[in-house]
Structure 1
Amino acid sequence: MTTDKTLKQSERELFLELEALCTAPGFIHAIAYFSTRDNMILYADEMKVDDLMPLHGRDRLVRNEVNALIGLMVKRDIDYTLPDEVTLERYVECSEALLEKIHGSMSSAMWKQFPQKDQWGASVLHDLKGASSSGEMMREAIFYGGESAYGFHYRDIAPLRYGRDDPWIVAHMGFSIKDAATVVKAVGHLLNEKSTDVFHSINHPRPFSQSFLPGYEFSAAEIIAKSKLPLETVEKILTAFAYPEGERNIQFNAVDDRNMAAIRPLIRRGDHYVLFNIYDLSEVLYQAPFFWILQDESYQPTAQYNRGAFTEDFAEARLVSVFGRTNVKVNVNLLRSKDVLGEFDALVFFGDLAIVLQAKSKQLTAAARKGNEAMLLSDFGSAVQKACDQGYDCGKLLLDPSVRLEDVSGVQVSKPAMISRVYVICLIADHYPALSAQARQYLKFEPLEKLAPPFVMDVFHLDVMAEMLDTPLHFLSYLDRRSNYHETVVANHELNILGFHLERNLWVEDGVNFMYLEDGVGTGLDLSMLVRRENIPGPWTPPGILTRMRQHRIGQIVKEIEKKPNPAMLALGFLILRMGEKSFVSFSKIIDDILRRAMMDGGRHDVSVPLLDGKSGLTIHVNMVSQEEAEQRLVAHCEVRKYLERAESWFGLILDACSGQIRFGLQVSGSWVYDTELEESEFFKILRRGAAAKQIALSKFKAKKIGRNDRCPCGSGRKSKRCCYS
């Protein structure tokens, strides 16, 4: 058996071979080829999901691999000579082969801990999870895992993150963070134009006969023209992110070592600069100011406060965009008598549901990135576990009737009389590699009935959730589902899972205890975010749960539930959002049908459907009787239907025949108990006879047809043709 020591040596040998290749004359043109092949998105007129799918191809180099090639290349003076076709093609093929072998070497120590294929099943899931917690496993996940943020996230959020620190940045760096973001945006747009022009000029049957490098070069003068900023400002910004002259990256001796080429991604070439991926520059814009400030010990306490304030402010703004100003509170203290027991960074109340958010600003250390298990656990404990513990402790106190809430000004914050569910969000301010995998493996919490399992995310994911799930019920429904599936559903990063939900409705059938979502399942989300934030022509919303709801009656009912949330109706909203596509459409058509019939004949119409495999259900009445009579009929119907189906709960709605809006809603809950009186009731006997009895009753019923000039049955007093007839 190969030992870990031998594996590491093998990886080291491969790395040295790769270094020799990357420092060969003209290798920079191979990197330009990779950057074009693996990052360029080709589309005509409007961008489509299929146009983005190549970004998830298995033969594509991940960003860390390309940065490793650059990091090795800068260990020597760069030779810009364009090699002949055969040599350049050999560079590309050898690079891919060596990187694949390094990946295999890194993975082999990991895979040997897994059960054999024929042993996989529920009985070994516990052992599988243990193997997935190893340092080797996390090292591989950290290096090869997907990005948890979009490039525009880093670029656009950086001015918010360092806004309070801007006076320090201006004084010590000579430019503002806002101007730096403007330059990064200008560089991105310029290189997009240049690389596109170069791509179209290439002889594609012979891609190695020319160089793609001109598509990644630019001058300060070109950025000045695009950004409209002064020469001095632009030059200072570019210099701050440029690879230092004379630097040889000597500490970079393994793919996951500290790589100066990733920290300072701009390469000087005379009076020009080379940048292979705008994502690298955007990420550095978000990360670098923290390290600039770190060198000033006297300013560190202020900087630390500002980091925490940014995370809280950002979370507050995104939550307010979904739930409204009145439903979101920040920096809320929990008190019993005069004792402060804890504090919420952010708190949301909606109906009888609550969201508790605890924020942390802690990055993954270099040792942890290399698979040091002790450091992985230490970093995770500081960045995530601590926030989870605080959130859970505060969540328990929130459920305690003897605990009251106050804001920082001492003003009492009211809470619902009863809270049925508390959701705990642990929010990280930075990209935390393999966060989803680490949360699944390392997070510890005490399961409690009214406390949902914690949902660990970064500020970028919260931003996307608030953007796409911009109504309370959609946001809460996904939060509820994702929290409950925290161990069942696995992906490289949370954006995959959210994208899958938007397109196909995240739902795991009973008996399924593990589901892995590959990269690419959420590409519709990627596209819609590009459309919204980068003005790319394409679909504003991914086709799926959001688009189908707008078109159907059930979607309108969900919107009404959100306007006046109460516990029963929120629970109904959650059930509705679990419906599959066919059920959603079919049920909407049935409701439209009984609304139309009620308008035509002025009679009473209803429909009942079981939900959650018979554990619950919904009855809808459409009639024009008085409110009191309508409520009595609905209560009786729901009680009998729940009893007949032996369900745990049953929901009821009365819809206005004219507008289709909700007049009244209720929920009947409780364990099933034999009821002699109910069994002998006439209504129960009718329902038990089922559809046949109902059809007989309908065939004997002769409805009075409402004419165009008759009084409208809705009670408005107007003629039908001028009211609800249409």
Structure 2
Amino acid sequence: MRSESDVFAELAVLSTSPGYVHALAYICHQDNFITYEKEMKVADMQKLFTHSRLIRTEITTLIGLVVQKEIDWQLPEPATMQEYIDRTYRLMDEFHAAIGASLFHSIKTIGDPSTPQGSILREPIFYGGESAYSFQYRDFSVEKYGHDEVWLSSKKGFSIQAAAGVVRAIGEIQNTKVLATHRAMLKAPPADWTILPGFCLSAEEVECISGVSLKEVKAVLDAFTLQDRNTHFSDASAFNSVAASPLIPLPDGRVLLLQYYSIVEALYESPFYWMAADDAYKATAFKHRGEFTESFVVNRLTKVFGAENVLRNVDLFQGKNKAGEIDVLVTFGDRLIVVQAKSKRLTLEARKGNDGQIKADFQKAITDSYEQGLLCARHLLAGDCVLRSPQNSEIKLPWKPKEVFILNVVSDHYPALSFQARQFLKQEVSEGIRPPFIMDIFLLDAMTEMLETPLRLLGYINQRVLHADKLLIQHELIALSFHLKENLWLSDEHDMVLLDDDISADLDLAMTIRREGIPGNRTPDGILTRFAGTAFERLIRQIEQRGDPATIELGFLLLTIGEDTCRHIDNGIQEVIRQAKFDGAVHDFTVSLGEAQEGICIHCNPGETDAAAKKLAAHCHLRKYTLKARKWFGLCLDTDESIRTGVVLDYPWHQSDEMDAQTAGMQRRPGITLSGSSAMRGKAKIGRNDLCPCGSGMKYKKCHLGKAD
């Protein structure tokens, strides 16, 4: 195997070959563009996950090498063009192997504190998947720099809204021109084939599409146009000027943009560095960046939990002494979410594989934030602090906290974040404190977009942190997409699960359709669709609306069970309600789960509330004992499916002669038991003028009399 530097040197020579830019344009078109008919489907998106495709960091590397010399725009002969393309893919495969050599040879020592992790992490840092969608970078830039309008207008000549409008227009122009260029190629002889013109654009074209004044358009394009030869880009981890300034100037005054993702990423990241270089404005820029991160988290979580349950900048006091600070506190029943937000990123030195710098960056971005959240979680559970708002008013929690979830959120793309969290973060898990969930704002946005109700979102967080040590993924969008499709629940028999990148295609498609207005299915087929409109789904929504600790606990359980069991519960609810409507008596069914470690009794009881609650509790007590369960849930419904009351029995099982006697006639094997429904339906005589047992509310003669049952 050749060294990384040797392969990089050969790539540099290839990239400055006569007319190579045409071959690179072909690669960008082949590997970055998706075609679809009528509406976009997952199969269309799958081409972005082929192993032969070059990813964004690889293409950016090639562009960074192309600009190091005067670009030769002459179109090569077809054979030369093909040789350029084939050689590029071969060299990039070799380059990947060279970067990944340290990781491969050190696989057994990953996580060993005595082993330097820098060289090992270079591969996941360089080749890790993107954590942000292009439209997130573009749209969040307006939020991120909304308070910097005066500086941007005076120093750069444009507003952030205008810049976002220009970038959006560039995407539309590029899509149209690339398609038109490709169609024109089909009518031309092979010797004239090139897709390069599709990537070129002028300020006038952008003005026409964006509606932004030509003066501002030119100012935006100038700000993101490359001004140097990128000679300092001497290896893949060095600063690459085209990442910050991706527009390449053309001899005729237009610009070339080979990769649209680069311009949206630059829009999100570069303005901060411009402002940080201004000594007079630097402090203000840092302040605004921190405020943006907290505001973003508050806005996204408020959409799910409601403004009354999302509190910002909560201080914990013991007497007159401040014991802790919480950036964002979320309440849902007796569950709390403590969010600590940071505006830190992976430095250039860390990307080069500097072991000490990687750990220092992680300490500032994640570890400090986690330890702060952990301290606050301990105080919240202990109840030994007074919570105060920024206005110094006391905050009273609605319930005594049972569990605290810690979310550590960063505002920028942090390469290999999940991988680094496994390596460097020492977690403390105790009763009531869940393992931390490390994420960026882009994941939080996707989570709150797809899981838009409290129980769904918190249920996913609960499952994700529960399986943190079992799951191997390149980035968190993969796990979220898998959850939407299959439910992220791993049994004890799974020691380690590796999820490949292409699993995220379903989520990628749904987010693109929702945010870009492309025709297609807004929600992946899975946990959000298979029970839509059923009694089971209506039960979940009621639990969310109540926010009651007893029913929240049940809600978590219901979100982890398999599809077949969900359907049994759905059928059971419909059956006991049908029976209760028919005869006015109490009907119930029981479901035991996890080899009878947990179970559920659901009653439909039209009777008086207190009596119904006592009957439910007594029945659950007996069922729990019969199956020697660790935990048991009970739920009482009215005949309109509304929840009347709930109960949770959570205590160790102990043998009792008295309980043995009381439960002597009860079924003792795990499973699903419906109380006498089929027998009743077969024996009870239904009068013509009785209510139909189907639950329609109509008389039997008007409904099912004479019809097949």
Partner of 1:354: 336
Give the Cα separation in 1 of the matches to 2:121 and 2:79.
38
Partner of 2:198: 215
Q: Find 1:56's aligned residue among 49, 56, 61.
A: 49
Give the Cα separation in 2 of the matches to 1:706 and 1:307.
72
Q: Does 1:109 align with 2:102?
A: yes
Deviation at 1:675, TM superposition (A): 2.0
Q: Does 1:705 align with 2:686?
A: yes
SS of the equivalent of 1:678 reads helix
Task: From the superposition, tell whether residues 341 and 689 of structure 1 become closer, same or farther in structure 2 (CA, over 3 Å).
Answer: closer
Q: Find 1:70's aligned residue among 63, 69, 90.
A: 63
Give the Cα separation in 2 of the matches to 1:561 and 1:636.
22
Task: Deviation per CA, 1:537-583: give whole Å up to 9, x if none.
Answer: 01111111011232322111110001111211111000100011222
Deviation at 1:697, TM superposition (A): 11
Mean Cα deviation higher: 133-142 or 665-674: 133-142
Q: Does 1:343 align with 2:343?
A: no
Task: Deviation per CA, 1:414-443: give whole Å up to 9, x if none.
Answer: 114421110001110111111111111111
Q: Find 2:600's aligned residue among 600, 618, 625.
A: 618
Task: Deviation per CA, 1:145-183: give whole Å up to 9, x if none.
Answer: 100000011100011111111111111111111110110
CA contact (8 A) 1:686 1:694 kept: no
Task: From the superposition, tell whether residues 204 and 65 of structure 1 become closer, same or farther in structure 2 (CA, over 3 Å).
Answer: farther
Give the Cα separation in 1 of the matches to 2:528 and 2:537.
9
Amino acid at match of 2:60: N
Task: From the superposition, tell whether residues 689 and 331 of structure 1 become closer, same or farther in structure 2 (CA, over 3 Å).
Answer: closer
Deviation at 1:701, TM superposition (A): 8.8
SS of the equivalent of 1:551 reads coil
Deviation at 1:292, TM superposition (A): 0.6
Deviation at 1:77, TM superposition (A): 0.6
Q: Find 2:492's aligned residue among 510, 532, 544.
A: 510
CA contact (8 A) 2:579 2:693 kept: no
CA contact (8 A) 1:316 1:346 kept: yes
Mean Cα deviation higher: 615-624 or 90-99: 615-624
Task: From the superposition, tell whether residues 533 and 708 of structure 1 become closer, same or farther in structure 2 (CA, over 3 Å).
Answer: farther
Partner of 1:169: 152
Q: How do residues 64-143 of structure 1 correspond to structure 2 at under 5 angstroms?
A: 64-115=57-108, 127-130=109-112, 134-143=117-126
Q: How do residues 294-443 of structure 1 correspond to structure 2 at under 5 angstroms?
A: 294-443=276-425
Task: Deviation per CA, 1:59-113: give whole Å up to 9, x if none.
Answer: 0001111111111111111111110100000000111111111111111222112
Partner of 1:120: none
SS of the equivalent of 2:501 reads coil
Task: Deviation per CA, 1:635-692: give whole Å up to 9, x if none.
Answer: 12111110000001111112222x12212211122111122222222x6424459999
Task: From the superposition, tell whether residues 438 and 710 of structure 1 become closer, same or farther in structure 2 (CA, over 3 Å).
Answer: closer
Task: From the superposition, tell whether residues 643 and 692 of structure 1 become closer, same or farther in structure 2 (CA, over 3 Å).
Answer: closer
Deviation at 1:596, TM superposition (A): 2.2
Q: Does 1:640 align with 2:622?
A: yes
CA contact (8 A) 2:224 2:247 kept: yes
Deviation at 1:707, TM superposition (A): 4.6
Q: Does 1:266 align with 2:247?
A: yes
Q: How do residues 459-538 of structure 1 correspond to structure 2 at under 5 angstroms?
A: 459-538=441-520
Deviation at 1:605, TM superposition (A): 2.1
CA contact (8 A) 2:626 2:666 kept: no
Give the Cα separation in 2 of the matches to 1:98 and 1:313.
44
Q: Does 1:290 align with 2:272?
A: yes
Amino acid at match of 2:91: L
Deviation at 1:496, TM superposition (A): 0.7
CA contact (8 A) 1:405 1:413 kept: yes
Give the Cα separation in 1 of the matches to 2:187 and 2:477.
34
Please list every run of 5 or more consecutive structure 2 residues that lacks an aligned counterpart in the other structure: none
SS of the equivalent of 2:147 reads coil
Task: From the superposition, tell whether residues 710 and 457 of structure 1 become closer, same or farther in structure 2 (CA, over 3 Å).
Answer: closer
Partner of 2:553: 571
Deviation at 1:203, TM superposition (A): 3.3
Amino acid at match of 1:685: G
Provide the TM-score with structure 1 as the length reference.
0.92
CA contact (8 A) 1:599 1:724 kept: no
Percent identical across equivalent pairs?
38
Mean Cα deviation higher: 538-547 or 207-216: 207-216
Q: Find 1:193's aligned residue among 172, 176, 183.
A: 176
Task: Deviation per CA, 1:24-72: give whole Å up to 9, x if none.
Answer: 1111111110111101111111100010001010000011111111111
SS of the equivalent of 1:297 reads coil
Partner of 1:25: 18
SS of the equivalent of 1:545 reads coil
Partner of 1:685: 665
Provide the TM-score with structure 2 as the length reference.
0.94
Deviation at 1:356, TM superposition (A): 0.2
Deviation at 1:613, TM superposition (A): 3.0
Mean Cα deviation higher: 518-527 or 702-711: 702-711
Partner of 1:119: none
SS of the equivalent of 1:665 reads strand
Give the Cα separation in 2 of the matches to 1:254 and 1:181.
31
Please list every run of 5 or more consecutive structure 1 residues that lacks an aligned counterpart in the other structure: 116-126
Task: From the superposition, tell whether residues 44 and 574 of structure 1 become closer, same or farther in structure 2 (CA, over 3 Å).
Answer: same
Give the Cα separation in 1 of the matches to 2:314 and 2:20.
57
Deviation at 1:614, TM superposition (A): 1.5
SS of the equivalent of 2:531 reads helix
SS of the equivalent of 2:17 reads coil
SS of the equivalent of 1:146 reads coil
SS of the equivalent of 2:577 reads helix
SS of the equivalent of 1:685 reads coil
Deviation at 1:202, TM superposition (A): 3.1
Q: Find 1:242's aligned residue among 220, 225, 230.
A: 225
Give the Cα separation in 1 of the matches to 2:673 and 2:16.
82
CA contact (8 A) 2:605 2:612 kept: yes
Task: From the superposition, tell whether residues 478 and 207 of structure 1 become closer, same or farther in structure 2 (CA, over 3 Å).
Answer: farther
Task: From the superposition, tell whether residues 523 and 706 of structure 1 become closer, same or farther in structure 2 (CA, over 3 Å).
Answer: farther
Mean Cα deviation higher: 325-334 or 132-141: 132-141
Give the Cα separation in 2 of the matches to 1:693 and 1:266.
67
Deviation at 1:627, TM superposition (A): 2.1
Q: Does 1:257 align with 2:238?
A: yes
Partner of 1:666: 647
Mean Cα deviation higher: 210-219 or 482-491: 482-491
Partner of 1:225: 208
Tell me the matched-pair count.
Answer: 702
Mean Cα deviation higher: 694-703 or 225-234: 694-703
CA contact (8 A) 1:56 1:519 kept: yes
Give the Cα separation in 2 of the matches to 1:412 and 1:724.
59
Q: Find 2:141's aligned residue among 155, 158, 170.
A: 158
Task: Deviation per CA, 1:438-476: give whole Å up to 9, x if none.
Answer: 111111232222111111111111111111111000110
Give the Cα separation in 2 of the matches to 1:11 and 1:689.
62
Mean Cα deviation higher: 250-259 or 600-609: 600-609
SS of the equivalent of 1:506 reads coil
SS of the equivalent of 2:339 reads strand
Task: Deviation per CA, 1:246-274: give whole Å up to 9, x if none.
Answer: x2211111122111122210011122111
Give the Cα separation in 2 of the matches to 1:107 and 1:397.
44
SS of the equivalent of 2:528 reads helix
Mean Cα deviation higher: 91-100 or 663-672: 663-672
Deviation at 1:611, TM superposition (A): 1.8
